[in-house]
Amino acid sequence: MMQSSKKIKTALISVFSKENLDKILEKLAGLDIKIISTGGTRNYIREQGYEVDSVEKVTDYPSILGGRVKTLHPKIFGGILSRRENTGDIAQIEEYGIPEIDLVIVDLYPFEETVKSGAEEQKIIEKIDIGGISLIRAAAKNYNDVLVVSSQEQYKEFDSLLEEKSGETSLEDRKRFAAYAFGVSSHYDTQIFNYFNKDINIDSFRYSQNNSKALRYGENPHQKANFFGNLDDIFEQLHGKEISYNNLLDIDAATGLISEFDETAFVVMKHNNACGIALRENLTEAWKAALAGDPVSAFGGVLITNKEVDKNTAEEINKIFFEVIIAPSYNVEALEILKQKKNRIILIQKQKVNSNKQFRTSLNGILVQDKDIKSSVPEDLKFVTDRKPDQGTISELIFAEKIVKHTKSNAIVLTKNKQLCASGVGQTSRVDALKQAISKAEYFNFDLGNAVMASDAFFPFADSVELANKAGITAVIQPGGSIKDKDSIKYCDNNNMTMVFTGTRHFKH
């Protein structure tokens, strides 16, 4: 019969970072637990005034290859993997003088952090932990008899365990820490694989995040949800309630769109689509123009700008209800105004989101694709109509295409003077998306005379350019590629419209 409760008698400690280890050492010494350790960890333990045996003393073998091989020895792994109730194992560890090890504490080489630091490859390779990861897996496998602490993040829980149970551990304790350990080893190996695979491109999907934050709920109150990642890397939250699942979706969409612009821009985002956006020399004017795009949908939206928010702009923004505002900075007076609503989420965006992949669940698998980072420049445009666009029209068309690229398909975007007049989003036909956009623009009293139209995909028929012309639109940007492109081109030529092809579709689902 396996004993559920086990007394820790001997511990092996091998850690890269010594932070917070002193508290653990104090507890182990107080419980008269023997310690075996390696190199720098052993020296640290001795400096703290505690007795410790070296691994070399146990194995009667030195650390070799510049420290690459220290713990990889049968007397260490035999002591971890031996099954305490197995008569064969018991006989062998007695025969070979192998000490039983009941506790393994490891903190791995910081491979992930070294990669992020931009270190040269040889330094990165040297931070691939071999002995530590092997110790973790061995101890976790033998959780019936051994407890493994595989990360500094587990010190607090382990410290409480020592305090409460005086060095005793239950099977439930050991199995829980084993699960933590396999999580650590899995994440570690994933980071190493992805580092090597960035240039090799093996068709294998690996993704891992240790940081988890429980959200209030998902898209709806009956759905549980978590965010895996570290938002603090990208944002500093200055004020407001917890960020929700739906907030995060809108924030993701908003940061993607605002990243398209260097000019002073303001975006109002609602349900992952821009309901207002404008470029202006002055931030307050950019806000007013963005809000005018759809002041109804802006209620409860997510706002984002790429410039510091000043007092005048904050006063104007504060006139409506919104959930989130994101900016690179705020002046003191602006913050005082914006903080008047206690639940309003105020974020500073510290850096751009640099991921170049997207993935989502689908059926019984996962879809992975490159992010759509292609945005047209004037040199990409193909002029297909008799009437050619001037430089001002080209700039307006590219502005409109950037917006439609970030709009749910089927999508049509209408702009004028670097302001979103209206958009048609998520429609099952392109012509319906255009009808929706024209209807919204008229509802909010926009004059579409000399406005431009952007489409995320080609026009299968000429009906869309015909509707656009009747609304006053004079220039069109679209990918092209329909077998009936000539019909749309012919209509434009007959009605003095200009149309350019980009050659790039921007579906977004």
- Supply the residues annotated as catalytic: 141, 271
Q: Which residues pair with 36 in a beta bridge?
A: 12, 53
CB burial class (10 A; 0-12, 13-18, 19+) of residue 306?
buried
Q: Which of 112, 123, 118 is nearest to 192 (CA)?
A: 112
Instruction: Pull the structure tokens for residue 76.
Output: 């260490």
Question: CA–CA distance from 381 to each of 389, 405, 413 (Å)?
Answer: 10, 16, 18
Query: How would you classify residue 20: left for phi > 0, otherwise alpha for psi between -120 and 50, otherwise beta?
Result: left
| Residue for token pair 């309630």 | 241
Round to whole Å and give the CA distance between 187 and 200: 20
Question: CA–CA distance from 99 to each of 76, 89, 188, 350 (Å)?
Answer: 8, 12, 29, 52
Evaluate whether 6 touches 169 at the Cβ level (below 8 Å): yes
Biggest CA-to-CA distance, the chain? 97
CB burial class (10 A; 0-12, 13-18, 19+) of residue 136?
buried
Which residues make Cβ contacts (< 8 Å) with residue 202, sequence separation at least 6? Answer: none
Question: CA–CA distance from 259 to each of 195, 229, 283, 422 (Å)?
Answer: 26, 20, 16, 21
What is the SS3 assignment for 35-68?
EEECHHHHHHHHHCCCCCEEHHHHHCCCCEHHHC
Round to whole Å and give the CA distance between 29 and 167: 11
Q: Is the dihedral of CA 234, 239, 245, 247 positive or negative?
A: negative
Q: Which of 256, 491, 501, 239 is nearest to 354 (CA)?
A: 256
Residue 81, Cα to own-chain centre: how many angstroms?
38
CB burial class (10 A; 0-12, 13-18, 19+) of residue 364?
exposed
Which helix (H) or strand (E) element contains residue 220?
none
Query: Given strand 452-455, what is the order of strands in its sheet?
Result: 382-383, 498-501, 475-478, 452-455, 412-415, 420-424
